Amino acid sequence: LSRVQLAPLVLAAALVPAQVALCGVRWGRIAAALGSHIPARRAVAEYALSTLLNQVLPGGMAGDAVRVWRRRHHEALGGAVQAALVDRWIGQWVHAVVTLLGVVVVGGMTERSAVAVWLVVLTAVVGLPGAFGSALRRAIRVEGAGMTALSAGLTASFLLGFALCGMALGEAPGLWVLAGVPLVLLAMSVPLSVGGWGLREATAVVVLPRFGWTPEGALALSALYGLTSLVGALPGGLALLEADA
């Protein structure tokens, strides 16, 4: 790691607050579509705290739970839970689409099938009966285009973060960013680790050597991404100084 360049890492960490802002806007628009109002500044601040907690607590969803709980004085918990779940769903759906496009180019049949099945499952959720299915369909009807555009921008920013970490290691962006990194990010979303650590590295070491990375380089890349994500999320702790959302 002695050859690591600092400037790209600083830029990668600086992306995180921008990602948080996009997430906060998306969450606020989803909540509005479901009949709740969250001021934009508050939505971003709460999402910043949620992002930090998801980085440091097991499971990767503790921050979401805290974000919902801090809304308890302003709306029924059921509505807050629905908004958070719809927010998670749209992010996962867009990410699955991007990942499928990548594995169609370079992935094996097993990977293509797995991602395709996941995308089908996510899409089928739209037809679920009950309160969540109804809330999801309403959010799509009212804010479908906006949610998708914001999620696409977020996914692009995650890929850019990996590209910057690669540049810090002297590797130029290439097909590995578009076709390999989405699989790594998808592994991170599995709620079985702390901040994606372990799952991200294991997937990177398996996937990225197909694009010319050494296993050691892939491990270093993944670790740098994890570190910049954590550093960039630290300002989210400031939300604890304010009252509940």
Each residue's pLDDT tens digit, 53-80: 999 998 888 999 999 998 887 777 788 8
pLDDT tens-digit map of 24-39: 999 999 999 999 888 9
Q: From residue 181, how far is each of 43, 203, 206, 218 by CA, in Å?
A: 28, 9, 11, 10
Nearest to 169 by CA among 241, 219, 96, 206: 219
Mean pLDDT computed over 76-90: 88
Positive or negative, the CA dihedral 13, 15, 21, 24 is: negative
For 21, the token pair is 């802002």
Return the structure tokens found at 19.
Answer: 């990602």
The tokens 């995308």 sit on which residue? 119
Q: From CA 69, how far away is CA 234, in angstroms rounded?
A: 21
- For the stretch 183-234, pLDDT in tens is 999 888 888 888 889 999 999 999 999 999 999 999 999 999 999 999 999 9
Question: What pLDDT does residue 1 have?
Answer: 58
Length of the chain (residues): 245
Angular region, 41: left φ>0, alpha ψ -120 to 50, beta rest: alpha
CA terminus-to-terminus distance, the chain:
41
Token pair, residue 164, equals: 């910057």
CA 68 to chain centre: 17
Q: What is the pTM of this model?
A: 0.91
C-alpha 28/C-alpha 44 separation (Å) is: 8
Residue 204 burial (CB < 10 Å; 0-12/13-18/19+)? Answer: buried
pLDDT tens-digit readout, 127-172: 776 788 899 999 999 999 999 999 999 999 999 999 999 999 999 9
Residue 245 has pLDDT above 60, yes or no: no
For residues 15 and 27, what is the distance between their CA atoms, to the nearest angstrom?
A: 18
Cα 103 from chain centroid (whole Å)? 19
Compute the distance between CA of residue 17 and CA of residue 238 in angstroms, rounded to an integer.
13
**Using alpha carbons only, what angle is made at residue 186 by residues 149 and 221, rounded to the nearest 5 degrees?**
105
